Structure 1
Amino acid sequence: MPTLDYYFATVSPYTYLAGTRLEEIAARHGLRIVYKPLDVVALFGRTGGVKPADRHESRKEYRLQELRRQSAKAGLPLNLRPAHWPTNPAPSSYAIIAAQNEGGGDLGGLVHGFTRACWAEERDIAEDAVIRDVLQANGFDPALAGRGLLAGADQYGRNLEDAVAAGAFGAPFYITEGDERFWGQDRLDDLALHLDGKL
């Protein structure tokens, strides 16, 4: 089965706005998604980007307008200034890595559950209770939150290195086996067209 590498950040509003459309595309095309959560701020620093807090005011203003518009297009509620952002993305990322290694639940739902918790539900995805709740809601053992820490930390660091080496520079970022790269949830339609052989 062909694979697609999916680089994303659990604190990224654009990862949230992707919803579960990637999983729908993958199901239609027989793709296996390799979920690669990473530290997107570190990725910016490695690839010439600027973290949101350090951007020019015009970019900050545009980002807020664009998030409002993209939220409306996606039909997903979004708080432009969530109570728990920025927060530490590592614990939720470790949980996703552990869940992928364990298998048996809904990984796409898990990723969306964490991003929704941050951007629509005013929950802190760095908190153990929130991580356990989102794991359980998506069919995973909540104890993975603790069991997967060491392996998760190691893989989390490797995901950043993999992203830099593969040419990813933001989140969400999708890379096919043929090295076609798509940046942003607003490129999912292009990804689908590419997989259909139309682009």
Structure 2
Amino acid sequence: MTQIDYYFSMISPFTYLTGTRLEEIAEKHGAGVAYKPVDIGQLFARTGGTPVPQRHESRQAYRLQELRRQAAKAGLPLNAKPMFWPTNAAPSAYAVIAAQSAGGGDLGGLVHGLLRACWAEEKDIAEDAVIRTCLEQAGFDAGLADSGLLAGAETYAANLEEAVSRGVFGAPFYITDGDERFWGQDRLDDLDLHLAGKI
């Protein structure tokens, strides 16, 4: 089975704007998805990226326009300046890692639910209650929010090292078995075409 390694940030608006399209594309092509949340701040620091507040004002203004346009294209509600952003992404990332290990629920739904909570519902995804609710809504045991914290932290750190070594520099980022790399939710159509053998 073809596998897509999916590197993403729990506080990235562009990851949120992926919606459920990655899962739809993977299902269409019979591919699996390995979810690999990463610390976007550390990823930027390691690969030459600049945190949003440190970018030139023209880049920040363009980012806001692009978010508005991409949200409209995706048909997703978006608050480009949410109340709880930035926040500590680690607790929600640990929950995703624990859920992937446990199985039995909708992992893509969990990721999207947490991202939606941040970018459309004005919720703090560092809060235990928010994470537990998202776990339950995606068909997982809410207790995963509390279990496997050490393993989650270790995997989260390992994901970052792996991402840097494989050429990942932003989020969302998709890598196929053949090391074809796609950066950004606006490259999902290209990923789809690649898996279809057209590009």
Instruction: Place the TM-score, normalised by the shorter chain, in its bin.
Output: over 0.9
Partner secondary structure for residue 62 of structure 1: helix
Tell me the distance in 1 between the aligned counterparts of 2:89 and 2:18.
18
| Residue number in structure 1 paired with 2:123 | 123
| Residue number in structure 2 paired with 1:2 | 2
**Where does structure 1 lack aligned partners over 5 or more consecutive residues?**
none
Question: What's the CA shift string for 1:48-85, capped at 9, x where partnerless?
Answer: 11011110000000000000000000000000110000
Tell me the distance in 2 between the aligned counterparts of 1:157 and 1:107.
20
Tell me the distance in 1 between the aligned counterparts of 2:80 and 2:94.
25
| Residue number in structure 2 paired with 1:69 | 69
Asked whether 1:135 is paired with 2:135, we answer yes
The letter for the 2-side match of 1:97 is: I
The letter for the 2-side match of 1:63 is: R
Tell me the distance in 1 between the aligned counterparts of 2:14 and 2:81.
14
Tell me the distance in 1 between the aligned counterparts of 2:7 and 2:190.
17
Tell me the distance in 1 between the aligned counterparts of 2:99 and 2:2.
21
Structure 1 stretches of 4+ with a deviation exceeding 6 A read none
Tell me the distance in 1 between the aligned counterparts of 2:59 and 2:73.
21
Tell me the distance in 2 between the aligned counterparts of 1:103 and 1:148.
14
Q: CA deviation at 1:121?
A: 0.1
Query: % of aligned pairs identical?
Result: 70
| Residue number in structure 1 paired with 2:52 | 52
Q: Using structure 2 for the length normalisation, give the TM-score.
A: 0.99
Q: CA deviation at 1:148?
A: 2.1
Partner secondary structure for residue 143 of structure 1: helix
Q: Using structure 1 for the length normalisation, give the TM-score.
A: 0.99
Q: CA deviation at 1:3?
A: 1.1
Q: CA deviation at 1:110?
A: 0.4
Question: What's the CA shift string for 1:147-187, capped at 9, x where partnerless?
Answer: 02111000000000000001000000000010000000000
| Residue number in structure 2 paired with 1:106 | 106
**Where does structure 2 lack aligned partners over 5 or more consecutive residues?**
none
Tell me the distance in 2 between the aligned counterparts of 1:20 and 1:179.
22
Tell me the distance in 1 between the aligned counterparts of 2:71 and 2:87.
21
